[in-house]
Amino acid sequence: MKQYDSYKDSGVEWIGEVPSHWEVMKTSLAFHGIGSGTTPSTSKKEFYDENDGYYWLQTGDLNDGIINETSKKVTKFAISQCNLKFYPKDSIVIAMYGATIGKVGILGIKTATNQACCVLPTNKNMNAKFAFYEFLACKPALLVSAIGGGQPNISQDVIRKQKIVIPPLLEQTAIASYLDKKCTEIDKVISAQQKRIALLQKLKQSIITHAVSKGLNPNVEMKDSGVEWIGNVPSHWEVKKTSLAFNGIGSGTTPSTSKKEFYDDEGKFWLQTGDLNDGMIFETSKKVSDIAIKVCNLKFYPKDSVVIAMYGATIGKVGILGIKAATNQACCVLPANKHMIAKYSFYEFLACKPALLVSAIGGGQPNISQDTIKKQKIVVPPKGEQQAIADYLDVKCSLMDKSISKAQHQVELLQEYKQSLITEVVTGKRKVS
């Protein structure tokens, strides 16, 4: 690995030593006109036009890459009424808060932004692509500086004070070209692995759906189930509403998070939708105290109950309780019973997840209601066949999951390598020419 002739201490932990002839300065001194934007009222339809409007960037549009499109566009009327500022092509954008906090983008278009975007317009002394790679490198340092609990944020002030490395312009250009080439190569391999993961997940879903709807005997006589996602089923199987297959379908509640006495790390299991993982559940991220159980009248569901996320980021996720647990209100619980093998039920609701999601209502935050789940028609084979199907799928899915896990690990290693390469090069640990 090539290195520069001499180095000096940058005085910045994440940067370390840098080539002696490079500068280290605050972001505010390297970029002029750092700013943000605003959100025109979403209740005023005249402010938005998806066809003939002007680009308006949200943090959800940031992709750690070049931005050539925005998910929403604003009208001339919105621009005049809301005094929207447009930033030029090649500006750097950093997400200050939200689900994409720390994400970076480089503008391939002229655009306005919302208030969660911090924009750094580039200048004649900064190569835009180099600046983009530098802020990818310092993302971990910015995230460490984020403030707040439930929704941490990186303030403009934090970004302005962040110290960065400034090589001579010709070196910036050489570094950007080198990283463009290397990152493209790495991204191609990552993309191939991600496609493999998607195919394996699709295959796994099809294996599950076929087994729970067609059974394991290819020669059995079939009949029409009358349900689109199920199709034909073995003629001796029953098709019934979920409410008839499960008794006591219910949900839970959330003890007030402002009352510390309601939560105890040594308490009883309390399940949230974020704990659902399309698999067995043996632990919950939070536990409730005896006083919370009493005051909030929490109901506990038995081991082997099936749980479905009705809304939120994990909507449609399924879990099977390996523990006795209470739940929050976003979990629909189908208690175990003597007529349904728990593992078979779990696989069946993995299979019908797409059908449930199609039935989800609402816009910004769609939800699957308890009523939708209760009305969902499912297949009920004899218990012996349920067990055989569950055992078969345990083996098949275990093999599929190992392959998926291996591919995901490869993606993680490649992403780590890409991040380390970018950091090494933009801080001068590795010389590119």
Cβ contacts of residue 267 below 8 Å, gap of 6+? 287, 288, 289, 290, 292
DSSP secondary structure of 188-219 = HHHHHHHHHHHHHHHHHHHHHHHHHHH-S-TT
- State residue 360's pLDDT score: 79
CA 101, CA 152: separation in Å to the nearest integer? 8
- Do domains 23-166 and 216-380 share one topology? The answer is yes
pLDDT of amino acid 33 = 92
* Residue whose entry in the numeric block shows the structure tokens 């799928």: 393
pTM given for the model: 0.84
CA distances (Å), 394 to each of 165, 278, 302, 386, in order? 52, 13, 21, 12
Report domain extents, the chain. Answer: 1-6+167-201+387-433, 23-166, 216-380
Q: Which two tokens stand for residue 110?
A: 């002229």
Question: CA-to-CA distance for 391 and 210, rounded, in angstroms?
Answer: 14
**Phi and psi (nearest 5°) for 328?**
-85, 180
pLDDT along the chain (433 residues), means of 10: 92 95 96 95 93 94 94 95 95 93 96 96 93 95 78 90 96 97 97 97 96 96 94 96 94 95 96 94 96 95 96 92 96 92 96 89 78 94 97 97 97 97 96 88
Which two tokens mark 266? 């040594």
φ/ψ (deg, to 5) at 270: -135, 115
Return the pLDDT at 363. Answer: 59
Token look-up 């010389």 returns 431
| Domain with residues 216-380, CATH architecture | Alpha-Beta Complex (3.90)
Exposure class string for 36-74: b at 16+ Cβ within 10 A, else e: bbebbeeeeeebbbeeebbbbbbbbbbeeeebeebebbb
Q: What's the CATH number for 23-166?
A: 3.90.220.20
Closest of 15, 12, 13, 35 to residue 157, by C-alpha: 35
Taking the C-alpha atoms of residue 209 and residue 230, their distance in angstroms, rounded to an integer, is: 8
* CA angle at 270 for the pair 266 and 273, rounded to the nearest 5°: 135
Q: Angle at Cα 101 formed by Cα 95 and Cα 103, nearest 5°?
A: 60
- Nearest partner of 10 among 138, 105, 174, 177, judged by Cα: 138
d(CA 226, CA 34): 60
